[in-house]
Amino acid sequence: MSVGASSHRVDIKAVSAAALRSLPDLLADWLPGGRREGREYVVQNPTRADGRPGSFTINTTSGRWSDFATGDKGGDPVALFAYLNGTAQVDAARAVADRLGLSRPEQAANDDPLARMKTRAERKANGQAEPERDPWTPVAPIPEAEFVPLNVRLGGREPGKTWLFADATGQPLGFECRWVKADGKDIRFACWCRHDDGRTEWRLKHLPSPRPIFGLDRLARAPLAPVLVVEGAKKVEPATRLFPDHIAVAWPGGAEGVKHVDWSPLAGRAVVVWPDNDDVGRKAAAGIAEAALKAGADSAAVVPVPSDFPPKWDLADVVPDGADLAALLDAARPAKPKAPSWPAGFRMTDRGLVWSDPSDDERPEVVVSGRFDVLAESRDDRGQSWGVLLRWSDPDGRSREWAMPRSILATDGADVPRGRTGAR
């Protein structure tokens, strides 16, 4: 079932009622890692940098949910799905109906009004609130004529630091805002929003999924540069200072926000992820590397931060004595090379690179070379002499690498040095 527009209205109440019956299973899928406290499901809020579970709760009986730290709240599972994914109520209802396998998630505009009254009465009897809809819709990119200085507060205070997110052309999308508190920090996203009545103002609210990377404009200005992904916009500046040959980027929403990000701008890039030195950071980094490869990155790797570094250490902290950060970056190797696209008749097998005649099934296969991996594209420091980085094991089991010039692909192979890739 498509989650697009329809000529019929979606019966949001009916979908919410069905979702309520399966709410524990849905919560385990939508918000993994939470815990049950009586009728409440307590979990970190993935739409913001939520340090620990506690303020974000969902009542598994009524479907009501709220984040006491932000004031965000809703009355049913469909509203919760819309909130988590930044979608409209009608699209959320279709997606939830699809997840539940409902055969008729939509109703015609002339449906039975008595049935609607009965449903409303049943909800009231069960103590279920009417679905709540957020009247504020994010506007991105922000029109130049509407852009005004950021004006948001949390607990009556302005943010101590902000970072502007922009699209590839430099148009503003919103701000990441940071507040320092006595018990830690609070990082929230601010969007330029339009109310149903036409009013506009800055609101502490995430952009709809998929959300933009921080640094899209710098990526666009350096299309051939490798990318260094760090956790949080705060770390982009020190990462850029330490590794000026990389384009440092970050993502919004912290470790739990990885799945809500648009990673497609990393397509065709060599990507390295530098995690914070904790289990949450390493898990997020592994997820980003996987997401980057799915988005079309040529390679993706995670920096192996030493276990003896201070807990939660990151690139914005003081470098530990004797640490060689450049060596750590070099130690990050593509963990899962992007599968190459072979010419017709060629395929890689356990025996090596094999060719078979596409026009003659009876012709025997030819083993062209030993097995090797295509890791990435390569070039010199002037952006010329393009090649392909290959890796293979020699007869003694030692790993070898070679940046093969692409010009060799236009020859009969006689220029390949002996011993390279086990050529036969």
415 is a domain residue: no
**15, 115: one domain:** yes
How high is the pLDDT of residue 191?
A: 94
187 is a domain residue: yes
2 is a domain residue: no
Residues with Cβ within 8 Å of 82's Cβ and at least 6 positions away in sequence, in order, are 74, 88, 89, 91, 92, 134
**324, 351: one domain:** no
How high is the pLDDT of residue 378?
A: 74
How high is the pLDDT of residue 226?
A: 94
> For the chain, how many structural domains are there in total?
4
**How many other CB atoms are found less than 10 A from the CB of residue 39?**
11
Q: Which two tokens stand for residue 368?
A: 């062209």
78 is a domain residue: yes
Point out the domain boundary residue: 151, 170, 204.
Answer: 204
DSSP 214: B
178 is a domain residue: yes
How high is the pLDDT of residue 233?
A: 95
Q: Which two tokens stand for residue 110?
A: 């002339």
Q: Which amino acid is at 37?
A: E
**157, 250: one domain:** no
Whether the bond into 141 is cis, omega within 30 of 0: yes
pLDDT tens string 130-162? 556 678 899 999 999 888 999 998 878 899 999
Given a cut of 50, the residues of the chain with pLDDT beneath it are 1-8, 103-113, 116, 421-424
Task: Give, in order, the Cα–Cα distances in Å from 292 to each of 14, 199, 279, 317, 367.
Answer: 38, 38, 20, 26, 32
Cα–Cα nearest to 204, from 51, 63, 30, 67: 67
**300, 274: one domain:** yes
pTM of structure: 0.55
247 is a domain residue: yes
pLDDT tens string 232-282? 999 999 999 999 999 999 999 888 889 899 999 999 999 999 999 998 899
**374, 405: one domain:** yes
How high is the pLDDT of residue 424?
A: 43
Rounded CA separation 80/73 (Å): 8
The CATH number of the domain where 286 resides is what? 3.40.1360
Inter-axis angle of helices 12-21 and 89-100, nearest 10:
40
Domain limits for position 144: 137-204
Cα–Cα nearest to 54, from 29, 84, 34, 32: 34
3 is a domain residue: no
How high is the pLDDT of residue 7?
A: 39
244 is a domain residue: yes
Q: Which two tokens stand for residue 180?
A: 């320092």
